[in-house]
A and B are shown apart, each in its own frame.
Chain A
Amino acid sequence: MKRRHAVGLMCAFAVAVGPALAQEMEMETVTGIDIGKPGGRMVLAALGDPKSFNPITANETSSTDIIGHVYEGLISYDPENQKVIPALAKSWEHSEDFLTWTFHLREGVLWHDGVPFTADDVLFTFEVIYDEKIINPAISFLTVKGQKFDVSKVDDRTVQIKLPSPYGPFERAIMTGLTIIPKHKLEPAYRAGTFQEALNVGIPPEEVVGTGAFEIGSFLSGERVILVKNPSYWKQDEKGIRLPYLDEIVFVNTPDFSAMDVAFEGGKTDGHEYVWPDKYKRFKDRETEGNYTLYDLGIDLGDNHFWFNQNTGKNPETEKPYVEPHKLAWFTNLTFRKAVSHCINRQGIVRTVYRGRAEAIHGPSSPAMGKWYNPDIPKFEYDTEKAKELLDSIDFKDRDGDGFREDPQGNKIEFTFITNRENNIRERIGVIIQESFQEVGLDGRLKLVDFNTLVTAVADAFDYEACLLGLTGSDHPLSGLNVYRSSGRTHEWFPNQKEPATEWEAKVDELIEEFLAEPEEEKQVQIWHEVQRLYAENQPMSWTVNPRVYVAVRNKFGNVRPQVMRPRLLWNVEQIFVK
């Protein structure tokens, strides 16, 4: 009761002396950008409605793409230079052993409702994230070796985080995982056990309170979300004009990508973040007419890859092995997998599926990852003669003259690889791969299944032979570590391993632990390069191609510098202005 009273007092105080407080705000001056003028609106298309305004529990991009502009963390990210930059913490330092981190919070920052932001909000956020009853994805970033951080308040402006053990990419983890929420708004709901539902999209927009450059203006299900400018944001340009420049960002709900194309071409939207490579010409040709620029952001972080099911387990109910033993013997044979990699006609896929607007990939990390990418790994280029040689070398030969090879025990080499039918591009990649399989004498057949069927097969039932699928990537290895760990749920070819199945997987697990404990970024990079080399050498999967990424934006906007890392266009939204 006493606490609530104090909050009430604080609100009154903030309203009364709001402008005075704003003057004391420690502003961050953004340098090196074009000076714009305030005002205007940008309309963008979004795929589907936001499902939640709760930054802790939201775990779908339709929500996070929007609330990412409403809430902030202690640390933010500059994708152009691949480095972390200050946000709600204006500076931070660490002890010599990297175990104690002290964050100095920005002075004078206000929540959208005028209440000052303090260290208590940071502590409250950690309390919520660490609560086992709160289902949230952030916790995987904010623990080290499964242990929580010790977070304490030094004073109203200083927070200290003590780590139980060294955590190398700690800054990145804080940047990715920690979004600060307002204690004064959410504590009652949290104590009442209704935190998960507290910020559902049905609540009045003014109840959604963050510190970000924009606040929720209105939401109409199925139609749009309007974000309006936060007039007392803590960034300014070199002339002292407060950012953001734009008054409003509007996200109109579009059901699919072709509706997005139409909305942009028809002038309804100002930007189009999903111009697929096969539509490059269509959009390039109308640049002048539509008064926009099509930006080439380079190769994508996400990819499409092919893998065999190497799960050695058994179905617990029927006691039947997930993969027939003789097939498992092929799939776990490195020479066989190398031969299959030689069958991936990457240039053919680039030419026919992407019309030349994609690049061949030979390892688990995309070249778009910059310094993290290791270009110097073994490559298994498309070469069917080489594939045939390799298959001959392990005595997989056509013994009965039917055009397909048999293993030494006489089993015909046949397998089905699945991909989801909703994805037209993947289907065409599958067809091209299938052709090469036939050519070298492997009876590998493409089977199209529904998305849900595919997920059940690869994540729950494990009753498939091979799969062609894509993952969206990140420009830092910390996101997606569960693909690399042998114990990970998304360690695709053999998930949830209790003990690493192979020596090299054990080695990767070790390297990941080393990576997580290594404070020097240069050494982290070296370790990550080593992980990629091990992957490429052991070909647990065959990587295909990564498409190029294109974004179209009308020419009337200034400071438009889209990046391949999401959010591609709006990462510097506060700098964008109408010319």
Chain B
Amino acid sequence: MWTYILRRALQSLPILLLVPFFTFLLIELAPGSVLDVWKLNPDIPNEVIQQMSEKYGLDQPWFFRYVTWLKGALLHLDLGYSVSHKREVAPVIAERLFNTFLLALLATVIEWSLSIPLGILSATRQYTWVDKICSTIAFLGLSIPAVFLALLALLFAKVTGWFPLGGLRSIDYESLSAGRKVIDLLHHLCLPAIVLAASGLATYMRQMRGNLLDQLRADYLTTARAKGLSEPVVVGKHAVRNAINPLITLFGFSLSSLLSGAVLVETVMSYPGLGRTVVEALFSQDEYLVVAALLMGTVLLVLGNLVADLLLALSDPRIRLQ
């Protein structure tokens, strides 16, 4: 297995090099630069703009900046300097990455802990009222765009006053006891996590239901039943295990899609995550910050796929890691 992991890591190296390359290229092709905000301020002298441009290498061709960045990243693990945040990229990302990670983690837990049982439930009780309720919820989750759902959640919080309006911690957070801190965090995380989980929850639930229904009609289950196995064993041990394979693959992609979905939820719901930082960086063309954040997303995608493949091998004895 370790050689397999190593081989996969080596295979993903070109991706990790190419993503920054294209990011630098695309930012260069887009008009404007990170200094634009300052250029329109009449009280900032020309010399200041000139100096900044030289200091951050903005007067150099983009591939120079790519090569310099690559050297720094490979030799010193230096991700570069964020011009708009006026500090190294690494701490800027680190501060926010944890928040996004918290949000994504909670959303993943909600998604998977609900979608699989509900999917099984609606497949085994096909066309009953349980199935109908689950399907309705799923269709709602799939058809309501995340932006709209986020706005609805915000309105809900504002009207009822039960949930905070954005943020991750209360103003008095520092003075709370450890237990109260966790409650405070969860209280803030609740709505954004539900919004983020909604569409995934619906997708996986429908997927699980469909797969399981296919399996339940398969011949080998009839055989199993004929042999006298109990229904829980037939469904739980045989059908579900076969039905879950495609979902594990989906799980691999879900890690990175959670990150991109978070951008939207974070912006609408004023959540202090990485997504908002990245969007701001994109608009202000703060290239090192964008590159670092995209790199993070790529790493997650690669990791997610690797984890999915490993899980697949674990759950399905027909698959071997070669």
Contact = CB atoms under 8 A, between A and B. Distances in A.
A262 B92 contact: no
Interface stretch (B38-46, B130-138, B220-228, B245-253): B38-46
Residue picked from B85, B154, B161, most chain A C-beta under 10 Å: B85
Interface string A50-90: 01101001011000000000000000000000000000000
A456 B273 contact: no
Contacts of B14: none
Contact of B45 (A43, A137, A471): A137
Contact of B31 (A141, A265, A456): A456
A254 B166 contact: yes
Contact of B91 (A202, A250, A266, A267): A202
Contacts of A223: 167-169, 272
A480 B87 contact: no
B210 interface: no
Contacts of A479: 42-43
Interface string A183-223: 00000000000001100111000000000000000101111
Interface in A140-167: 140-141
A482 B42 contact: yes
B164 interface: yes
Interface string B26-50: 0000111100111111111110110
B158 A452 contact: no
B174 interface: yes
A483 B42 CA distance: 6
A146 to B, nearest CB: 10
B95 A452 contact: no
Contacts of A60: 37
Interface in A4-44: 41, 43
Interface in A384-412: none
Interface stretch (B66-74, B116-124, B190-198, B275-283): B275-283
Interface in B136-160: 154, 157-158
Contacts of B49: 489
B169 A220 contact: yes
Chain A: interface size category: 35 or more
Contacts of A255: 267, 270, 276
A481 interface: yes
Contacts of B211: none
Contacts of B45: 137, 139-140, 482
Nearest to A226: B171
A222 B272 contact: yes
A432 to B, nearest CB: 24
Contact of B43 (A51, A135, A452, A480): A480
Interface in B43-81: 43-46, 48-49, 51-52, 55
Nearest to B171: A250
Interface in A252-292: 252-256, 259, 262-263, 265-268
A488 B40 CA distance: 11
B157 A266 contact: yes
B32 A197 contact: no
A504 interface: no
A224 B272 CA distance: 10
A48 interface: yes
A250 to B, nearest CB: 6
A253 B272 contact: yes
B92 to A, nearest CB: 7
* Closest CB pairs A-B (n = 10): A452-B32, A222-B272, A455-B36, A200-B87, A490-B42, A221-B95, A482-B42, A453-B31, A266-B158, A480-B42
Interface of B: 30-33, 36-46, 48-49, 51-52, 55, 84-87, 91-92, 95-96, 99, 154, 157-158, 161, 164-169, 171, 174, 267, 270-273, 276-277, 280, 283, 285
17 contacts: A51-B85, A137-B41, A137-B45, A201-B87, A222-B271, A254-B270, A255-B267, A262-B158, A262-B165, A263-B270, A452-B31, A453-B31, A455-B36, A456-B36, A460-B39, A480-B43, A482-B45
